[in-house]
Structure 1
Amino acid sequence: MEQILVVNCGSSSLKFAIMDGSESPPLMEGIAERLGSEHSIITFKYDGKKHEQPLHENDHRGAVTAIKNWIDQHSDLDIKLVGIGHRVVHGGELFTKSVVINKDVLQGIEECSQFAPLHNPAHVKGIKESQALFGDLPQVAVFDTAFHQTLAADQYLYPIPMRLYREHHFRKYGFHGTSYRFIEQKLASLDETYGQQNTLVAHLGNGASVCAIRAGKSVDTSMGITPLEGLMMGTRSGSLDPSLLAFISDAEHITMKQALDILNKESGLKGISEISNDCRSIETAQAAGDDRAELALNMFASKAAKHLAAVATNLDSVEHIVFTGGIGENSPVIRSKICDRLKMMGIRLDQHANQMCPRGEISRISKQSSSAFAWVIPTNEELLIAQDTLALINRPETEQHR
C-alpha cells in the first residue's frame, strides 16, 4: 500500500508520521524535540511502543536523517513511501489550496515568512532537508491559511488605510484551516445534506479559534494576520485593545516586541489561572475550589461563545455546532460552559451525552429540542495532509501547482 510521510516542522521541533491515507492509525509516528539544543532527542512510536534516542545532529537535518535511517532499518515493514506532505502555517494570498512543491512554491513559502517568522522558515528547512535526503520523492505543502481564502473582502480586511493592504498585504488570514476542512468533510460524510448546511466549528486547544462554514466554505474565522487574534487561548491573550501593548511596554519598561511576547506566551489560561496553560490541570484545580481556575475557565468559555456568536452573523442560520481540538474533544466542562452562553441561539446540550461521549469518537451531544445539532468530532490534520498529498501526486503535472 502507498504511504506518505507527514512532516510538521516547528522552530525547535519536528513532528512526523507515516500514513496510508486511510482511517487506520499511523504505521509510525513521533517527534523530534529541543532542536538546536545539545539535549535534542527524537522519539519514535511504533507497534504500541516508544523508543527515544538522542539526536547526534541537533537540527532539522538531524531529525529528518534520523527518520530516514529508521525507515531504512525497518525494511521488514515493506514501507512504500510515495510522497511527503508538509504542514505549512502561512500561505498568505499566494496559496488557496495544497500544492506540489517546486522552486516557485518554496520561494512563495519563504515570502510568507514575514507573517510567520517562527514557523515558515522552519517549514522551509524541513522541506529542503527532505528534498536532500529523499531524492525525487514528490513533496506537497498543505497550508493552515488556505481554507479561509474564501472569505469576502468585508471580512478579511482590517479597518486601516487601504494602502497598508495594497502595499503590505496586512489582512486577516485565519488558521486551523486543515482542521476545519477535515471537520467539514467528516460532518458531510454523516449525512448527504450536512455538507450544504451552515456550521459553526470551535477548534479548542492550546491554540484556539472558531470558524463559520457555509456549504463547505469558510465565511469567517476568529484568528487574524497571526494566531494571536480572536479567542483567549493556552498562553495567548486573544483579541484586546491594541493600546494595551503600549501601556505594557511603558509600565514594564520593555520593548513592544517584549510586550507582544507577554501576550503570546504568558497570557490566556496560563496568565489568568497562574497555574498552567493546560486545561486539564486548571479543571482539576477548579474542582478543588481554586477561584483563579474557575475564573480562567469562565473567561475561556465566554470568549469562545462571543466569537462563535460573532462569526455566526455571516450565516443565515446555524444547523450544526462542532467542538474539536484537544479541549473541544475532551472537556465536557468547557463545552457545557460555552453552550450555556449560547442559549439565546437555541442551542441545548444533552448533559448526559456531553459527559459520557466516548473519547476519539464522533458524538452528538445536543438535545432533541436544540435549534442546532451539537457535535464532538475528533480532528485529524495529519490524515488530511496525507490524503491531499496522495491526491496531488497522482494528478497530471499541469494540475499540481497553484
Structure 2
Amino acid sequence: MKPASPRILTINGGSSSIKFALFEAGESLHRALDGSIERIGLPDATFAVKGSENFFRPLAVPNHTVAVNVLMDWLEERSARDALTAVGHRVVHGGPKYSEPQRITVEMVEELHRLSPFDPDHMPEEILLTEAFHRRFPDLPQVACFDTAFHHDLPHVARLLPIPRRYEAQGVRRYGFHGLSYAFLVGELARLAGSEAAQGRVILAHLGNGASLAAVRDGKSVDTSMSFTPTAGVPMSTRSGDLDPGLVWYLARTEEMSAKQFNEMVNFQSGLLGMSETSSDMHDLLERETQDVRAAEAVALFCYQVKKWIGAFAAALGGLDTLVFAGGIGENAPTVRARICDGLGFLGIELEEKRNAANEGVISAAAGRVAVRVIHTDEELMIARTVCHVLGIGAKKGN
C-alpha cells in the first residue's frame, strides 16, 4: 500500500479568528481545504470549511481556547490527525531575536510570552494556539513562521525610530509585517517575470484589511510602511495608519482617554471604518461613494496615502522597475489601483485601462517604463512551504 503524502496544517490566528488550511506534500504542495472560525467571542461566530469537505455553520465560541478545541475536535473526528505531519503557525512578531522560521520548543514559547507586549492584540492568541496543539498532540512537530522575518535585516537607517536611544536597546525599532506575503510575492515575481525582475527595484503593495507596502531591492526589504506595530503606515480597514503622536496627549487632556482606549481606537475604530462611519470594507465604500461623501473621502484618503508611500519608496530605491499589487483590495479593486497610479506617470507608472479592469496579471501600458502587476498572494502556501523546508519534508514546490 502506497504511504499517504505528508500533510501540513497551517494556522493563522487573529484577534477574533482562526484561519487554517490543509496541504498535501506530494510532487508539489496541493491545498486540500481551507477553513476558518470567525468572529470569536461574538454571538454570530461561524465555522466554515471549503475543499474536500464543505460546510458553513454557526458556532458558540466565547474565546480562542474554545475555538481551537473545536478545530482540534473536528480534526480528530475525521481522523485527519493521524495523517497530519506537522503544523505551521503564522506568528506576527519575532522581535529582535527571530529572523528565521524555527521548530517551536518550550524555550521558544517562553520567549514568545516575553515578546507579547510587542503585539498584545495578536501574540497571546497565537501562543495559546501553539500550546493547545502541543497539549493535545505532543508529538506533532510545530513550526513558527514569523511575519517580521522578511524585514529583519532592514538597513540600519530604516530600522531606527527617532526616540531616545535607550528604547532601541529594549528592541523598539521598525519591524514591518506582512513578511510571509512579501516573501511569497518575491518568489512569484521571479517565477512570472524572471530573476532579473525580482532582483530589481520593486515596490510590493499588500492591500487588504491590513495594508502595507515594502520597498525591495535584490529580493530584500529595504523599507516598509508598518513599523513597531502593524498599526503604522497607510490607513487600513479599522487601523489608522500613521498619526501625529501629539494626538495621544490631546485626547488624554480633552477626553481623558487612556492609553488602552487610544490603542482600541486606532486599531479597531479608525481607518476606513472611522472615516466612513459606515463600513470597513472597500467594496462597500466604492458602492456608496457617489451618495455618501464620508465613504468617498475614506476611499480618497486611502488611495492618496498609498500613492505617497509609492513615491517615497521610489525615492528610497533610487527609481522603480516593478510595482506589484496584492491582497484583497490590491487584487480585486481596479478602481482603487487606477486612482493610486493616477499622476505617477513621472515615475514611469502608466496603466492599461482594459487590462486593469479585467484584473489581468500585467496591467501596465506598453509605453510605461514600470511593470505594474497584480499577483495573488498566498500566506498559507508560504507557511506550508516553510514547514517543509524546516522539517525536510517532501515537496517544496507551489501548487
Q: TM-score, normalised by structure 2?
A: 0.91
1:83-132 alpha-carbon deviations (Å, 9 max, x no partner): 00001011011111111111222122222111111211111110011111
Distance 2:165 2:10 in 1: 38
Give the letter for the 2:295 counterpart: A
Q: Deviations 1:35-93 (Å, cap 9, x if unpaired)?
A: 456765533334362242535x7544433333333333334x89731100001011011
Aligned letter for 2:6?
A: E
Cα pair 1:98 1:142 within 8 Å, conserved: yes
SS at match of 1:227: coil
AA in 2 matched with 1:275? T
Percent identical across equivalent pairs? 38
> Is 1:325 aligned with 2:330?
no
**Residues 1:111 and 2:114 aligned together:** yes
Aligned partner of 1:47 in structure 2 is 52
Map of 2:396 onto structure 1 = none
Structure 2 residue identity aligned to 1:255: S
The equivalent residue for 1:399 is none
The worse-fitting range, judged by mean Cα deviation, of 13-22 and 324-333 is 13-22
Question: Aligned equivalents of 1:279 and 1:36: distance in 2?
Answer: 25
Structure 2 residue aligned with 1:240: 243
> 1:79, 1:216 → 2: CA distance?
38
Runs of 4+ that moved beyond 6 A: 22-25
Residue identity opposite 1:257 in structure 2? K
CA distance in 1, matches of 2:51, 2:342: 42
Q: In 1, distance between residues paired with 2:78 and 2:362?
A: 41
Name the aligned partner's letter for residue 380 of structure 1. D
What's the counterpart of residue 398 of structure 1? none
Instruction: Give runs of aligned pairs for residues 312-391 of structure 1, distance below 5 A.
Output: 312-357=314-359, 363-391=361-389
Once the two structures are overlaid, the 10-residue window that deviates more, 246-255 or 113-122, is 246-255
Which has the larger displacement, 328-337 or 132-141?
132-141
**1:129–1:232 Cα change, 3 Å:** same
Q: Does 1:294 align with 2:296?
A: yes
Asked if 1 retains the 8 angstrom alpha-carbon contact of 2:203 and 2:215, the reply is: yes
Which structure 2 residue ranges, 5 or more long, are not aligned? 394-399
TM-score by length of 1: 0.90
Aligned partners of 2:330 and 2:337 also within 8 Å: yes
Which of 145, 153, 165 is residue 148 of structure 2 equivalent to?
145
Q: Report Cα offsets for 1:162-183 as digits up to 9, x if no partner.
A: 11211x2111111101101100
**Residue type of the alignment partner of 1:351:** E
Q: Unmatched 5+ residue regions in structure 1?
A: 396-402
The alignment yields a C-alpha RMSD, in angstroms, of: 2.2
Amino acid at match of 1:149: H
Cα deviation digits, residues 235-277 of structure 1 (max 9, x gap): 1121121101222232223223313322222221112222211
Q: Could you tell me which amino acid in structure 1 is paired with residue 332 of structure 2? A: N
CA distance in 2, matches of 1:84, 1:252: 46
Could you tell me how far apart the structure 1 residues matched to 2:76 and 2:57 are? 17
SS at match of 1:20: strand
* Gap change, CA 1:275 and 1:61, over 3 Å in 2: closer
CA-to-aligned-CA distance 1:291-348 (integer Å, 9 cap, x gap) = 2222211110110011122122221331100000110001011100110142221200
Does the 8 A contact of 1:21 with 1:387 survive in 2? no
Aligned with 2:130 (options 127, 130, 144) = 127
Task: Name the aligned partner's letter for residue 209 of structure 1.
Answer: S
Secondary structure (helix, strand or coil) at the match of 1:27 reads strand
Whether the aligned pair in 2 keeps the contact of 1:158 and 1:171 (CA below 8 Å) is yes
Q: Which amino acid aligns with 2:277?
A: E
Q: 1:107 to 1:313 in 2, by over 3 A?
A: farther
Are 1:221 and 2:224 counterparts? Answer: yes
Aligned residue for 1:141, secondary structure, equals strand
Deviations 1:130-168 (A, max 9, x none): 1111221111000111100120111011111211211x2
Aligned 8 A contact 1:201 1:321 in 2: yes
Matched with 1:70 is 74
> Residue 173 of structure 1 aligns with which residue?
175
Look up the match of 1:32. 37
Aligned length: 387
Q: Residues 207 and 328 of structure 2 are in contact (CA less than 8 Å); yes or no, is this contact kept in structure 1?
A: yes
Please tell me the residue identity of whatever aligns with 1:347: I
* Structure-2 separation of matches of 1:25 and 1:291: 45
Question: What is the aligned counterpart of 1:14 among 12, 18, 30?
Answer: 18
